[in-house]
Amino acid sequence: MATIFSPSAIFSPKSPPNAYPTKSSQLTLSTTNPNAITNKSSSTLALTAAAAAAVILSTTPPSFADTSTPYNVYYGTAASAANYGGYGGNSSKKDSAEYVYDVPDGWKEKLVSKIQKGTNGTDSEFYNPRKKSEKEYLTFLAGFRQLAPKDVVLDNLALSDVDLQDLISTADSVRSKEKKDDSGQVYYVYEIDGVAAHSLISVTCAKNKLYAHFVNAPAPEWKKDQEMLKHLHESFKTVGDS
């Protein structure tokens, strides 16, 4: 939260009524310009005021932007459509979690229907209430023991996601790489840079399932929230025994 500072008042001591400059200090004659006669006391005050003004004008104003974003950890269970109980969780959700990712404080959880879960495998979704198209969500598909080649995986993800198809078809660039975590588990990382939107995707296989974590944002929000969105992307990981 930004803190607003109130400048302290500066007081000058009041001179006694009869305190005037002495004759020796009252006038200064300029040898280069005989007409330039200045009072030393006035000159000193003027120089002090000018210096203070210069400091005020040259000092960069403080930034009130709060760059720290609090996050909450989401524990996902990747339940099948048949076992999906709807909105909300239970006390053992953390113990039974198959994956985790961070969610910015203030983002809202979207209710995932059984139909949505059954058709495209969406397991969880959160969005920014100020801009609902800025969001993160996770999909999973059962029956995958290992990852296919990177381009094949991305094409298969797009088959069940029309928005992803459109983003890829109009993208300025699509970048992909492979990385491993400390335990050696392989993750595919994709970054899709489009004219209207930006997407970060992380895909991995564990527990005989393929997990895909998406972080999407319109171009203006990507430019503004890039650091936070990258944090969400990098926070995803599977947990428990593979």
Give the tens place of pLDDT for each residue, 194-223.
Answer: 999 999 999 999 999 999 999 999 999 999
Residues 6+ apart with CB under 8 A from 189: 176, 177, 178, 179, 200, 201, 202, 203
CB 207 within 8 A of CB 145: no
pLDDT-wise least confident of 57-61, 86-90, 210-214, 228-232: 57-61
Q: What is the mean pLDDT of the chain?
A: 78
Rg (CA), the chain: 32
| pLDDT, position 82 | 64
| pLDDT, position 115 | 83
| pLDDT, position 139 | 96
| pLDDT, position 86 | 47
| pLDDT, position 83 | 62
Copy the structure tokens of residue 16. Answer: 């006694």
Short-list 132, 140, 100, CA closest to 116: 140
Q: Which residue in the block uniquely carries the two structure tokens 């598909």?
A: 141
| pLDDT, position 15 | 42
pLDDT digits (tens, 9 = 90+) for 160-197: 899 999 999 999 999 999 999 999 999 999 999 999 99
| pLDDT, position 239 | 94
Cα distances from 54 to residues 48, 49, 95, in angstroms, run 10, 9, 61
Q: What is the DSSP letter of 9?
A: P
pLDDT band at 5 (very low <50, low <70, confident <90, very high): very low
Q: What is the CATH number of domain 71-238?
A: 3.40.1000.10
| pLDDT, position 79 | 80
pLDDT-wise least confident of 26-40, 41-55, 103-117: 26-40
Mean pLDDT of 84-104: 76
Q: What are the backbone dihedrals phi and psi of residue 94, each rounded to the nearest 5 degrees, phi first?
A: -65, -40
* Region at 204 (left for phi over 0; alpha for psi -120 to 50; beta for the rest): beta
| pLDDT, position 234 | 98
Collapse the DSSP code of 113 into the 3-class scheme (helix H, G, I; strand E, B; otherwise coil) and give the result: coil
Position 157 pLDDT exceeds 90: yes
Mean pLDDT of 81-108: 77
Q: What is d(CA 133, CA 216) in angstroms, rounded to the nearest whole number? A: 7
| pLDDT, position 114 | 84
The model's pTM is 0.69
Q: Compare 139 and 36 and report the one with higher pLDDT.
A: 139
Residues 6+ apart with CB under 8 A from 168: 154, 158, 174, 192
| pLDDT, position 117 | 84
| pLDDT, position 242 | 63
CB 111 within 8 A of CB 88: no
| Angle between the N-to-C axes of helices 162-169 and 150-159, in degrees from 0 to 180, rounded to the nearest 10 | 130
Domains of the chain: which residue ranges?
A: 23-58, 71-238
Neighbours of 171 (CB within 10 A): 18
Short-list 179, 187, 182, 176, CA closest to 213: 187
Q: What is d(CA 225, CA 8) in angstroms, rounded to the nearest whole number? A: 36
Cα distances from 40 to residues 18, 179, 200, in angstroms, run 17, 72, 67
Position 52 pLDDT exceeds 70: no
pLDDT-wise least confident of 81-90, 131-140, 171-180: 81-90
